Amino acid sequence: MAPPETPSQASALAHVRAAIDKACSAAGRSPDDVTLVAVSKTHDAPDILPVLEAGHRVFGENRVQEAKGKWPALRAAYQDVELHLIGPLQSNKAADAVALFDVIQSVDRDKLVAVLSQEMLRQKKHPKLFVQVNTGLEPQKAGIAPQELAAFLARADREHGMRFAGLMCIPPVDEDPVPHFNMLAQLARANGLAELSMGMSSDFAAAIAAGATLVRVGSAIFGARPAAHPPAARSPDT
Ligand SMILES: *Cc1c(COP(=O)(O)O)cnc(C)c1O
């Protein structure tokens, strides 16, 4: 039997928007206070264009190089696009990131604060910045440990005059995300930060209930992605 036809990106987008509205009204919040970041990583222009055509303008990418390859052309056609970097940023890509992105959600170490602040001065461009917090203390995951956040924010301000708009987290895949969302919300309150980027395709409604101001939704709009790390090809002689 043929697999069911994939709904178009535009109708998937409408479904996600409706689910966001529903989660907002359940939480007594205004939909205007929750920004949908459509995560277009791994997808090329033919997949992204229907979402732009439907009027959506806020997109997230996790790799600088990939974004640099596809967004300049799309932006020439849709100039009011707002682009968010949601993946790890290497210091040697900071210049490209400042040039390309309107929001960098993944600031996670002092070295990056130093390099970004230099680039922002040099380019006279000031993307909005978020601190990524490693709420699950996962060794393989980027992010500032919750108990180190206050000191990190103080150092960034003191040494570079750098201020952050909010916090971002990616909860451990195998855990209930809600305690992580609540922790991020509590950390933002304690540190006087207004924005909370949390919630993905599978859990954005719970994130909205916990106070998310941005949700990052990929597969629910664009469909499944190829595995991030496909198994290494077998050598031909095995
Ligand atoms: C890929 C990605 C998302 C979107 O994930 P989906 O499950 O496809 O919605 C959100 N946040 C980050 C940081 C990502 O890398």
CA dist 214 and 102 (Å) reads 14
Percent of the chain surpassing pLDDT 70: 92
Across the range 137-143, mean pLDDT stands at 96
Percent of the chain surpassing pLDDT 90: 90
For residue 63, the CA-to-ligand 1 centroid distance in Å is 12
Give 163's contacts (C-beta < 8 A, 6+ positions apart). Answer: 129, 156, 157
Q: Point out the least confidently predicted range of 30-44, 83-97, 113-127, 220-234.
A: 220-234
* Model confidence band, residue 230 (pLDDT cutoffs 50, 70, 90): very low
CA dist 174 and 237 (Å) reads 37
Specify the residue with its C-alpha closest to ligand 1, atom 7.
Answer: 201
Quickly count: other Cβ atoms within 10 Å of residue 104's Cβ. Answer: 26
Instruction: Give yes or no for a contact between 149 and 67, defined as CB atoms under 8 angstroms apart.
Output: no
* CA 1 vs CA 5, 84, 120, 185: distances in Å: 12, 39, 54, 46
For residue 158, the CA-to-ligand 1 centroid distance in Å is 32
Identify the pLDDT of residue 236.
Answer: 41
For residue 155, the CA-to-ligand 1 centroid distance in Å is 29
In the predicted model, what is the mean pLDDT of the chain? 93
Instruction: Give yes or no for a contact between 215 and 195, defined as CB atoms under 8 angstroms apart.
Output: no
- In ligand 1, which atom is closest to the CA atom of 39? 4
- In ligand 1, which atom is closest to the CA atom of 170? 13
Q: Is the pLDDT of residue 219 over 90?
A: yes
Q: Which amino acid is at 187?
A: L
Ligand 1 pocket test, pick from 42, 62, 135 with the greatest ligand atom count within 8 Å of Cβ, gives: 62
Ligand 1 pocket test, pick from 37, 39, 85, 214 with the greatest ligand atom count within 8 Å of Cβ, gives: 39
Identify the pLDDT of residue 232.
Answer: 43
CA dist 131 and 148 (Å) reads 11
Alpha helices in 78-139 (DSSP H): 94-100, 110-123
**Two tokens at 118?**
């230099």
Identify the pLDDT of residue 226.
Answer: 76
Identify the pLDDT of residue 1.
Answer: 53
Stretch (H or E) spanning 46 = helix 45-53
Instruction: Give the length of the chain.
Output: 238
Closest CA to 164 of 212, 127, 214: 127
